[in-house]
Amino acid sequence: MKTTVPIFKNWVPNWLIWVAIFMVTLPSMGLFGVSTASGSAAAGYYGIEPADVQYSMVIFYAAVASFFALERRFFNFVAVKQYLLLSTVIEIITSYVCYTTHNLHMLFVFRFLQGMANCATTSICITLIFGRLHTERAREIGYSAFYCVLLCIAPFTTLVTAPMLDSFDYSILYKGIIFFYLPGTTLLFVVMNNVRLNKKFPLYQVDWASFILYGLILCITGYVLVYGQQYYWLQDKRIIAGVVSIFLLLCIHVLRQAHQKRPYLSLQVFNHRNFKIGALLIFFLYLCRGAFGITSTYFATVLGLDPIHIGYLLLINISGIILGVLASSRLIVYKRSMRLIWMAGFAFLLSFHLWMRILFATQANTSEFFIPLLIQGIGTGLLMTPLIVFMVSSVPPDLSSTASATGVFFRFTGFCTSIALVNYFSLHQQSEHYNRFQQALTDLDPAAVQRLTGYRQILVSRGMAPDQATRLANGLLSRSAQAQSQLRFAMDYYLLISWIILIIILVIALVPYLNRTTVNLKASQPAPVSY
């Protein structure tokens, strides 16, 4: 980042610079979780299905992942202040459309555009973060700060939006983001000089074709994984067409990148063994992170906690994430074994899933979940930054941008695969357990059922007619069976994730090659892994 003019004006104190960067970063990150801040509220406001709400998040993520490689061309062409202003204006316009529209297809289109603009804003913020760090640990600290915010944004969004959704409809979230953008962007625009962070590179031969092709692959992949269970997978023509389209487009994309002089995403990154290891681990990390949503659903549907109190519980998880990120950053700086950091992080996640299997019950004190939520946050925080740094450091400097962009692809696929697995197991396992409970109740005579529940006696004692009390008691019993089936599904799914994590830990511990992997953090540019 060579420039004769300082990026920020001389009179601006360092703390104000960090505040400005953070105020721009926060709403940009908030757009990641705004779709799923309250799935039921979003579905009710737009008049859409829960799967549509999930896909609006996926299509936003697909835009970020597909535009990541192309965005650098625009970043190098436009001065940073103008680029910040342009990206913010686009985000505000798209947020306003999402605030006013009730058309599903328009929502999808503008969520995609919103993801592209978000990618630009995020690129500015992370570049400025790196620019403020002038030590040999700049890269590690920059990644830690950025991904700490990214990990915390989902529980933080739940905490912040809960009081708003309690008093207003869902659209208030986009309105709040619009107004939250203004002070941060204005402040950052004022404190910066009109400089370029990189040498100006003209916008010729922009590879729009590869971007469109890659974006289509990600959007269709997300569609198949989100809607697959709803349409019974390959029993539906839409899913079959999606799978065939993914295969054909992927073949075209690979052939195109292999024969281009300047590929959109260089396939050479897959020639590096450490990169493939890191990509696989980041995929499984996001698969495990996706299971955390079952815990939040359990708090809401089984324990009956309102979003505000769920947000308070998630503060414990945020604290764990911060502790994990701080610990991992220090461990990397002191060149501790990457293998041991990974094993510790996955061990924390394993402890969380096994512990939650024990705690899942129809009645529980919220204080019982403090330590498990803290452990889950520590495990996630320990893994994210080391895995990202490991992947980027595993390739030569000229492939670092491709490594970062491809890393986003594996995070995207892990996120979507988690949605597909949860949807599949939720339908099959929950239905299976519910039918089993209903069959068990059917085998009992009505008097035994009434003695088992005690509902009818209570209702009759309060003056309700016996027939009406019987019908209501049966309804309450059915709800109890439904809650039990959901608990059994959650326990089964967490057992599956626990087995996956255990296998990952064993592979990390037993594969000899991983015992020799370290990360070179001395260079300002990503460096190959030393053996």
Least confident of 68-72, 193-197, 234-238, 338-342: 193-197
Alpha-carbon distance 292 to 115, whole Å?
24
pLDDT at site 454: 56
Question: Chain centroid to CA 8: how far?
Answer: 32
**For residue 472, is pLDDT > 80?**
no
Strand partners, 8: 192
pLDDT at 520 over 70: no
CATH domain 270-426+488-531 topology: Growth Hormone; Chain: A; (1.20.1250)
Helix axes 208-227, 50-77, angle to 10 degrees: 160
Residue 152 has pLDDT above 80, yes or no: no
The pLDDT value given to residue 504: 92
Return the ∠ at Cα 206 (arms to 204 and 209), rounded to 5°.
145
- Rounded CA-CA distance 292/476 in Å is 28
> Cα(239)–Cα(244) distance, rounded to whole angstroms?
9
Are the beta carbons of 45 and 100 closer than 8 angstroms?
no
Distances (CA, A) of 202 to 5, 72, 212, 226, 371: 21, 12, 21, 39, 53
Q: Is pLDDT of 502 > 90?
A: yes
pTM > 0.75: yes
pLDDT in tens, 198-251: 777 666 777 788 889 999 999 999 999 999 888 888 888 999 999 999 999 999
> Which of 393-426 are b and which e, b meaning 16 or more Cβ less than 10 Å from the residue's Cβ?
bbbeeebbbbbbbbbbbbbbbbbbbbbbbbbebb
Q: What is the pLDDT of residues 347-397, one digit of tens each?
A: 999 999 999 988 888 777 888 889 999 999 999 989 888 888 888 778 887
Query: If we measure between CA atoms, which residue out of 426, 444, 443, 424 comes closest to residue 482?
Result: 426
Q: Considering only residues 128 and 471, tell me which one the structure prediction assigns the higher pLDDT.
A: 128
CATH class (in words) of the domain with range 1-206: mainly alpha
pLDDT at 2: 47
Angle, helices 14-33 vs 172-191, to 10°: value is 150
The pLDDT, as a whole number, for residue 217 is 93
pLDDT at 135: 56
- Do the domains 1-206 and 270-426+488-531 sit in the same CATH topology, yes or no? yes
Residue 45 pLDDT: 80
Q: Give the CA distances from residue 515 to residues 345, 349, 392, 509, in Å, rounded to whole numbers and listed in that order.
A: 16, 21, 19, 8
Angle at the Cα of 174 (from 16 to 170), degrees rounded to 5? Answer: 135
In the numeric block, which tokens belong to residue 9?
């004006």
What pLDDT does residue 373 have? 92
Q: What is the rounded average pLDDT of the residues 304-327?
A: 85
- Going by pLDDT thresholds of 50, 70 and 90, the confidence category of residue 436 is low
Q: Which of 479, 512, 156, 90 is nearest to 311 (CA)?
A: 156
User: Is the model's pLDDT at 526 over the cut of 80?
Assistant: no
C-alpha closest to that of 408 among 283, 506, 316, 318: 283
Q: Is the pLDDT of residue 273 over 70?
A: yes
**Pairwise CA distance, residues 122 & 67, whole Å:** 12
Task: Count CA atoms closer than 13 A to 308's CA, side-chain side.
Answer: 5
For all residues of the chain together, what is the average pLDDT?
Answer: 79
Domain ranges in the chain? Answer: 1-206, 208-263, 270-426+488-531, 430-487
pLDDT at 476 over 90: no
| Separation between Cα atoms, residue 255 and residue 258, nearest integer Å | 5
Cα–Cα distance for residue pair 185/28, rounded to 1 Å: 11
**Max CA distance (Å), the chain:** 87
Q: Coil, strand, or helix at residue 192?
A: strand
Say whether pLDDT at 424 is over 60: yes
Radius of gyration of the chain (CA): 25
- Measured CA to CA, the distance from residue 150 to residue 169 in angstroms comes to 25
Which range of 153-162, 356-365, 471-480 scores highest in mean pLDDT? It is 356-365
Banded pLDDT at 172 (limits 50, 70, 90): confident
Answer with the residue of higher pLDDT: 377 or 464.
Answer: 377
